[in-house]
Amino acid sequence: QVQLQESGPGLLEPSGTLSLTCVVSGVSISSTNWWNWVRQPPGKGLEWIGEIYHSGKTNYNPSLKSRVTISVDKSKKQFSLELSSVTAADTAVYYCARDPATWDGVAYQHSNWFDPWGQGTLVTVSS
């Protein structure tokens, strides 16, 4: 079955750049899926960060777009998140998740649901 596993530094200083990786197993990263990042601040709700298709096409949360870059490395079967100029407000558990694409007759579109999710990784921004 499809499995996702996040990894990356758990602590970084304010103004730095958060970098996380999600390794995909059980399915080709070049299959018809959108690969997503979602975060959850401690004790709070879920926030979608953005997504990437294996072609390299990306979509980002407008509120984070200026600071976010999502990329894919097919050879390593992984996709990555970079979030620049971090502050304490970026402290959260970061999840990667799959959104299966569906063919609408013209192109592969989002299904707009997430399954499965990675286990999540806590990133703390603090000096």
Partner 1 sequence: QSVLTQPPSVSAAPGQKVTISCSGSNSNIGINYVSWYQQLPGTAPKLLIYDDNKRPSGIPDRFSGSKSGTSATLVISGLQTGDEADYYCGAWDSSLSAGKVFGGGTKLTVL
Write out the residues near partner 1 by the rule CB under 8 A. Answer: 36, 45-48, 51, 59-63, 95, 99, 110-120
Residues near 19 by Cβ (< 8 Å), separated by ≥ 6? 8, 9, 80, 81, 82
Q: Which is nearer to partner 1, 12 or 60 (by Cβ)? A: 60
State the nearest-atom distance from the C-beta of 17 to partner 1, in Å.
22
* Diameter over CA atoms, the chain: 51
State the nearest-atom distance from the C-beta of 5 to partner 1, in Å.
11
State the nearest-atom distance from the C-beta of 99 to partner 1, in Å.
8
What is the CB neighbour count within 10 angstroms for residue 15?
A: 11
Q: Which is nearer to partner 1, 55 or 112 (by Cβ)? A: 112
Does residue 92 contact residue 61 with C-beta atoms inside 8 Å?
A: no
Q: Which is nearer to partner 1, 1 or 127 (by Cβ)? A: 1
Q: Which is nearer to partner 1, 71 or 119 (by Cβ)? A: 119
Q: How far apart are CA 69 and CA 20, in angstroms?
A: 11
